[in-house]
Structure 1
Amino acid sequence: MMKYDFIIAGAGCAGLSLLYKILQEPTLQEKSILIIDKDTKNSNDRTWCFWEKNAGSFESIVHAKWNTLEFLSTGFEKKLDLGTYTYKMIQGIDFYNFVINFAKQFTNVTFLQENIVAITSDAILATVKTEDNLYAAKTVFNSTNLFNPEITEENSLLQHFKGWVIKSKKPIFDFEIGRLMDFRVSQENGATFMYVFPTSTTEALVEYTLFSSTVLNKETYDSALKKYIKEELKIDDYTISHEEFGIIPMSLAKFQKNPKKNVLNIGTSGGYTKASSGYTFQFIQKDVSEIVEKLKLGKNLNSDISFKDKRYNWYDRTLIDVLLSKKRTGKEIFAQIFKDNSPEKIFAFLGNESTIIEDVSIMKSLPIKPFLISGLRQLRSKN
């Protein structure tokens, strides 16, 4: 059985972000590292969008960026000047290539394409079992779904989306303005909005996104996209150069951070997909930076959850409870938040970077009774 200092189980956003951060740290970059994933990571299978104030670790592969967004709903429209924030887009294939090519400079890094079936541990080592072999390490960083909680219609909403990158024959888009949410579409299947991010005057990512308990059939996503492109974007002549589909859990279920000794969950498996919005990329970057700092200083990775993390977790759970119990619709909630607050304050809140005073200001935008009932329920919950 081969032994390593670190095993990274899963080579998605979390696993590769952690690998990149480790290899950038001089005190850790010579550690023996094994990365295992069943896929080769050679396709453009997803797009990550996020916001930040400064240039980040992956600035060189940012595909497009915007300083102005817009929010649209029935009877309400708002242009959002992001102030100190910039909204950015990274394509999956660019991210994979960037990190993997960087890692190839290090002979102590090994990539394996195998299917992981189990992760176990004892007092000294953690062991990863694949369909073919066993591997051991002092620490295993897991982003597979092996330890995920049960996701049900009672405890979770699903954020599911179908996106097309379209190219129009004529220049139609203002590529300096991204459409963050357009709720002027049918809400019959739950909180539903369109997301439009132009990368040129003729090309844009158009995404049909829903928060609901179940996914739809393929034809429903396609029909909604076609209708919106024709009726709202006023485009008849276009081609689809890329498409993607995704499902993100927005759950009240508890995602474990330390499922076993010497095993640390990262990414969605560690609870770093924000339950109320589905955003993941920047939360992963903050988490892996903290992990690397602890490794560098020899600190315990199994630290307690901070008060700040508990606070935002409660906010997220309260919103999910309101949506699950149908006390308010997603369309109503987001329209009220964007109507009454500045974009910088909203993005700080959604990015877990706001002050308590700013949090109170956001909460004052929302109807007191349904959020109070759901908030108290979540304080009492042991999930």
Structure 2
Amino acid sequence: MPRSEVVIVGAGAAGLSLAYRLCGPADGAPVRVVLVDAPPGPLRPPPRTWCFWEPPGGEYDDVLSASWQRLRVRGRDGTETVTRPAPLRYKMLRSDAFESLVERRLAACPGFRRVTATVTEVGDAPDGGRVVARGERGDRVVLHARYVFDSRPPRRLPAARTTLLQHFTGWFVETERPVFDPATADLMDFRTPQPAHGLSFGYVLPLGPRTALVEYTEFSRAVLDTAGYARALRHYTGPVLGIGAHRVTSVERGVIPMTDGRFPGRAGRSVFRVGTAGGATRPSTGYTFAAVQRQSSAIAAQVRGGGRFRLPPPYGAWPRAMDAVMLRALDTGRVDGADFFAGLFRAVPGTRLLRFLDGTTHRYEDVLVGLRTPVAPMLRTLLELPFVARRETPAAAGWGARPSGAAACPEQERSAP
């Protein structure tokens, strides 16, 4: 096969977003892109939901499932905090709608080619990067490109001082009577039984008066079994929400790593990791989708511009340091997770807090948010972090299914964040 400018490994949110940017309208000749997608089977992710916030008029607005101007957080005692984070809206995007939109652009891109194959090797070559794969008929496929971007989740999580898992199961439900407010999304509802270690919350995205995505989410060190999520959701939809008789139309599951481990963006001279594999998941929230869009746009601009390539980091050193403190404080029990997040939403203006969770605030805004947290335990944690050793942590099975967020829409890549 002829040499391409870019080979993208994996057709999840990160891989498709990068292909979409490289094949989008721009000055100059189209970039020659090959997207390597796994054949149907366990290597392909199931349909999933991504959530993020941005002003109205975004490029995916025409294919959104829903969006909300009002966000609500409920404390353990039921106290409500409702915010209207204008000009931001909380947006819900289903992966099948996103993939259809991307496919339409890629079909019209003269420099684009899609290969269905199982990748067995990714590495450098004398003139760039090389991908070796096995085709659907067992044939050997070798691809060469100036750059290779690998979006597959790594087999192991990086060594870290703190590693928690954000794991969840969500039900799409239809109720017999109208019980949901379509104008308001429940971002975090802490009226769930809190685990001995970590925190849990409910999450409700109404699609109409009688339909919604209802999730149970935990931040903890270990996932539950299927029966455990079912019990939690029955309790949340029953005694807590009181939605009455309902039908579950589909189910989503996911596990997102929340870790201060360093995901290396470079895997060779011409090989780079993107998406969750490249650190695009915000460690303190689990949001991923918005960071993937920012990173994909920056990569496409550099590839088109020529010159020396430098992979743009999804988050700067300052946000990563804040995330490390928060994770450690939560893991040690120095802060109560439910009270911590409920308190932030009460004390910080909604627009600023959402931008903070997305890693796009200015330094002075970060300080203002930090002053609304429990200062003493956070300061103690900050001072001890340099003396805490980083340890290897096995990757949890299926954690790449969602990268979603502290306020969760599970890159499932809840990506929102």
**Superposed, which structure 2 residues align to 1:214-253 within 5 Å?**
214-253=222-261
The worse-fitting range, judged by mean Cα deviation, of 140-149 and 279-288 is 140-149
Q: Secondary structure at the match of 1:114?
A: strand
- How far apart are the structure 2 equivalents of 1:39 and 1:219? 31
User: Residue type matched to 1:210 in 2?
Assistant: E
Q: CA separation of 1:238/1:114 partners in 2, compared to 1, >3 Å: closer, same or farther?
A: same
Per-residue displacement from partner, 1:75-124 (whole Å, max 9, x unpaired)?
A: 33211111211000000111111112321123432222222222110342
User: Residue type matched to 2:183 in 1?
Assistant: E
Cα shift at 1:360: 1.2
Cα shift at 1:228: 1.2
Conserved? CA contact 2:24–2:105, under 8 Å: no
The worse-fitting range, judged by mean Cα deviation, of 94-103 and 141-150 is 141-150
Per-residue displacement from partner, 1:27-59 (whole Å, max 9, x unpaired)?
A: 466222111121459986210011012422212
The worse-fitting range, judged by mean Cα deviation, of 20-29 and 98-107 is 20-29
The worse-fitting range, judged by mean Cα deviation, of 127-136 and 15-24 is 127-136
How many residue pairs get aligned? The number is: 381
Tell me, yes or no, if structure 1 residue 315 matches structure 2 residue 318.
no
CA RMSD across the alignment:
2.3
User: Residue type matched to 1:11 in 2?
Assistant: A
Q: Secondary structure at the match of 2:213?
A: strand
Moved beyond 3 Å, runs of 4+: 39-44, 146-152, 303-306, 376-383
Between 1 and 2, higher relative CO (CA 8 Å, sep ≥ 6) is seen in 2
| 1:124 aligned residue | 127
User: Residue type matched to 2:64 in 1?
Assistant: V
- How far apart are the structure 1 equivalents of 2:52 and 2:312? 27
User: Residue type matched to 1:110 in 2?
Assistant: R
* TM-score (ref. length: structure 2): 0.86
Tell me, yes or no, if structure 1 residue 284 matches structure 2 residue 286.
no
- How far apart are the structure 2 equivalents of 1:28 and 1:285? 22
Q: Secondary structure at the match of 1:277?
A: coil
- Work out which of the residue numbers 150, 162, 170 in structure 2 matches 1:142: 150
Q: Secondary structure at the match of 1:79?
A: strand
The worse-fitting range, judged by mean Cα deviation, of 110-119 and 265-274 is 110-119
**Superposed, which structure 2 residues align to 1:134-213 within 5 Å?**
134-146=142-154, 149-150=157-158, 155-188=162-195, 190-213=198-221
- How far apart are the structure 2 equivalents of 1:43 and 1:260? 26
| 1:82 aligned residue | 85
User: Residue type matched to 2:36 in 1?
Assistant: I
Structure 2 unaligned regions, length at least 5: 135-139, 391-417
- How far apart are the structure 1 equivalents of 2:28 and 2:199? 45
Q: CA separation of 1:237/1:15 partners in 2, compared to 1, >3 Å: closer, same or farther?
A: same
| 2:344 aligned residue | 337
Per-residue displacement from partner, 1:204-241 (whole Å, max 9, x unpaired)?
A: 00011111111101001011111211112222311111
**Superposed, which structure 2 residues align to 1:349-368 within 5 Å?**
349-368=356-375
Identity of aligned residues (%): 28
Structure 1 unaligned regions, length at least 5: none
Q: CA separation of 1:315/1:117 partners in 2, compared to 1, >3 Å: closer, same or farther?
A: same
Conserved? CA contact 2:162–2:324, under 8 Å: no
- How far apart are the structure 1 equivalents of 2:311 and 2:283? 21
The worse-fitting range, judged by mean Cα deviation, of 249-258 and 295-304 is 295-304
- How far apart are the structure 2 equivalents of 1:360 and 1:150? 28
The worse-fitting range, judged by mean Cα deviation, of 175-184 and 2-11 is 2-11
User: Residue type matched to 2:249 in 1?
Assistant: S
- How far apart are the structure 2 equivalents of 1:199 and 1:278? 23
- How far apart are the structure 2 equivalents of 1:381 and 1:288? 34
